[in-house]
A and B are shown apart, each in its own frame.
Chain A
Amino acid sequence: MKKRVINRFPGQGAAAVLGLLPFLLLLLAYAWGSQVRLEANPEDKLLPAMSSLAAAVERVALEPNRRTGELQLWADSAASLQRLAAGLAVASLLALVTGLATGMVPYVRAALAPFVRVLSMVPPMAILPILFIVFGLGELSKVVLIVLGIAPCMMRDLQQRVMELPSEQLVKAQTLGAHSGQILWRVVLPQTLPRLIDSLRLNLGPAFLFLIAAEAIAAESGLGYRIFLVRRYLAMDTILPYVVWITLLAFLMDLALRGVSRWAFPWFHQGQERA
């Protein structure tokens, strides 16, 4: 008998093939488009052939830069990832502290929650010039942009997550004789950490956005800097591999965070699968 389409599920193999299909189609479309354009004009730079992409990757990843002597891709990646890591770490810490405080303590919530709500509406890119003026053109202003870009949303998210903990648990802890500090330390904080990782995963995309934006405007190294530098020469053979590389980095970071969460907080994921 024929089932409705919403009741039909692919098997494991079929799901894997289906998942790969869009990637494959995109690749084919690119190869076809590139071939058509290059046939019309061998000097075309917009869609370089796979072979020129491979050559460019080899050049940036394996051969020292003629001016600096560095392996360009790795030097750029290291510079960008340092900024990103610093931004993510500071944002997470701020979000955790603020989220716990506003989520748990009504007085702190009354004082800070409206402020955070407004802060999260400030468009970070609009204050980038201020950051450059205040913090200079060095590393600090880029890290601050990432922090200002994602921390307010993470704070709001974590406050919400803390407040979503069943009140039964907090009452129970009080009937067991725990004071506020112990409830924070033993009941709320451990349950907030996996939610912090979730929040971080969701904010990886925006974090990369602010990183690339800051690097595009003022930097001397970094993935975003390179892309915007070679744009002047229409060097699509460098830009495209860089974009793929950034995407891959973000994807792997997401995967790693998920792995850490499953390993460190098995109880959190058991609960999720049942729910």
Chain B
Amino acid sequence: MMGALLEVKQVWKEYGSSIVLEKLNLTVKEGEFCTIVGTSGCGKTTFLRMLLGQEGPSRGTLLLDGKPMPAEPGPDRGIVFQRYSVFPHMSVLDNVTFGLEVTRSRLLGRLFGGARRKAREEAAAMLAQVGLGHALERYPSELSGGMQQRLAIAQALIKKPRILLLDEPFGALDPGIRADMHALVLKLWKESGLTIFMITHDLKEGFKLGTRLLVFDKPRLDAQAPNRYGATITYDLAIGRDEPALLEEIQGAVTETSRFIHDSR
């Protein structure tokens, strides 16, 4: 039997006296598509930063492939942020080729001649997969928001990461474009067998996309000391079909926390 790709055991994250995450337990197998929902201030982004290696847990253990999570970002974990994921000074094609160049030319990070041509062909093929085959020579600032996110995804996938982290990648996009992006992400996930963690504000999006829905929420709310209790995973569900009643229930619980956090600020 295949071991767990990611194991989170009794993880706490504290900043001084304020507790962000508490008693976090989670096991994720290779190939799962976890969507993470929860109101702002419930540690979703902190959890993502821990998966990236930007932060470590205050207590508990975080294992990747049975080994402690590296303390800095690396090529096994790709990321797409909501904004600023792409390099504005490189053309679309260069943005994707960059990932190949830095590993194939350790000293300069630049390839020449045949090696360069080959890398650019691979990058162009990747870009065609995400529907940017026609925009290879443009700069990111000339692309729409949706196209920029396609580029960011292509850029991450060219490295064939084991885990793809998506931090509200479609939050700034129009609804129609968002549906296209959902289709794209599902297609790429099915083709590549990646493990995906995707943070979203949109519960419906979370239900629609994942194989597993993780809800980050604060089970205990103390109006006198709002940061006394951290958030944890309150729902961990296998999904794959719409379940309206459950969606309603989670929406209610999350909204309550959201109001609470908002009021206590």
Question: Which residues of A have CB within 8 Å of B23?
Answer: none
- CB–CB B88/A271 < 8 A: yes
- CB–CB A177/B83 < 8 A: no
- CB–CB B106/A179 < 8 A: yes
Q: How far is the CB of B164 from chain A (nearest CB, A)?
A: 10
B207 proximal to A (CB < 8 A): no
Question: Which residues of B have CB within 8 Å of A268?
Answer: 88-89
**Which one, B1-9, B71-79, B250-258, is touching chain A?**
B71-79
- CB–CB B102/A178 < 8 A: yes
- CB–CB A185/B108 < 8 A: yes
Within 8 A of B (CB), among A169-183: 169, 171-179, 181-182
Within 8 A of B (CB), among A250-272: 265-268, 270-271
A168 proximal to B (CB < 8 A): yes
**Which one, A29-37, A186-194, A199-207, is touching chain B?**
A186-194
Give the bracket for the number of chain B residues in contact with chain A: 35 or more
Question: Which residues of A have CB within 8 Å of B85?
Answer: 168-169, 172
Q: How far is the CB of B226 from chain A (nearest CB, A)?
A: 27
Q: How far is the CB of A121 from chain B (nearest CB, A)?
A: 33
A10 proximal to B (CB < 8 A): no
**Contact A171 B139, CB 8 Å, known A179-B106, A186-B98:** no
**Contact A172 B79, CB 8 Å, known A166-B84, A177-B99, A186-B102:** yes
- A265 interface neighbour in B83, B86, B89, B106, Cβ under 8 Å: B89
Question: Which residues of B have CB within 8 Å of A166?
Answer: 83-84
**Contact A171 B52, CB 8 Å, known A266-B139, A270-B141, A271-B141:** yes
- CB–CB A267/B88 < 8 A: yes
B116 proximal to A (CB < 8 A): no
A274 proximal to B (CB < 8 A): yes
**Contact A172 B155, CB 8 Å, known A266-B139, A270-B141, A271-B88:** yes
Question: Which residues of B have CB within 8 Å of A265?
Answer: 89
- CB–CB B89/A191 < 8 A: yes
- CB–CB B87/A187 < 8 A: yes
Q: How far is the CB of A187 from chain B (nearest CB, A)?
A: 6
Task: Give the complex CA separation of A171 and B75 in angstroms.
Answer: 11
Task: Give the complex CA separation of A173 and B89 in angstroms.
Answer: 13
Q: How far is the CB of A249 from chain B (nearest CB, A)?
A: 31
Which residue of A166, A168, A274 has the most chain B CB atoms within 10 A of its CB atom? Answer: A168
Task: Give the complex CA separation of A270 and B88 in angstroms.
Answer: 10
B81 proximal to A (CB < 8 A): yes
B222 proximal to A (CB < 8 A): no
Question: Which residues of B have CB within 8 Å of A174?
Answer: 72-74
- CB–CB B139/A270 < 8 A: yes
Closest to A176 in B: B99
Give the bracket for the number of chain A residues in contact with chain B: 20 to 34
- CB–CB A175/B156 < 8 A: yes
Closest to B54 in A: A171
Question: Which residues of A have CB within 8 Å of B102?
Answer: 173, 176-179, 182, 186
- CB–CB A171/B79 < 8 A: yes
- B79 interface neighbour in A175, A178, A190, Cβ under 8 Å: A175
Q: How far is the CB of B243 from chain A (nearest CB, A)?
A: 34
Question: Which residues of A have CB within 8 Å of B81?
Answer: 168, 171-172
Question: Which residues of A have CB within 8 Å of B178?
Answer: none
Which residue of B72, B85, B99, B102 has the most chain A CB atoms within 10 A of its CB atom? Answer: B102
- CB–CB B77/A175 < 8 A: yes
Q: How far is the CB of B244 from chain A (nearest CB, A)?
A: 36
**Contact A175 B141, CB 8 Å, known A187-B87, A268-B89:** no
B161 proximal to A (CB < 8 A): yes
- CB–CB A175/B88 < 8 A: no
Task: Give the complex CA separation of A211 and B152 in angstroms.
Answer: 48
Task: Give the complex CA separation of A266 and B78 in angstroms.
Answer: 29
Question: Which residues of B have CB within 8 Å of A173?
Answer: 87, 98, 102
Closest to B104 in A: A177
Question: Which residues of B have CB within 8 Å of A274?
Answer: 141
Question: Which residues of B have CB within 8 Å of A186?
Answer: 98, 101-102, 109-110
A-B contact pairs, 26 of them (CB 8 A): A166-B84, A168-B85, A169-B85, A171-B81, A172-B155, A173-B98, A174-B73, A175-B52, A175-B74, A175-B79, A175-B156, A175-B159, A175-B161, A176-B78, A176-B159, A177-B102, A179-B106, A181-B109, A182-B106, A185-B109, A186-B110, A267-B89, A267-B140, A267-B141, A271-B88, A271-B141
List 14 additional A-B contacts (Cβ < 8 Å) besides A191-B88, A267-B89, A274-B141. A166-B84, A168-B84, A172-B81, A172-B155, A173-B98, A175-B75, A176-B156, A177-B75, A177-B102, A182-B109, A191-B87, A267-B140, A270-B139, A270-B141
Mark A residues whose CB is within 8 Å of B.
166, 168-169, 171-179, 181-182, 185-187, 190-191, 265-268, 270-271, 274
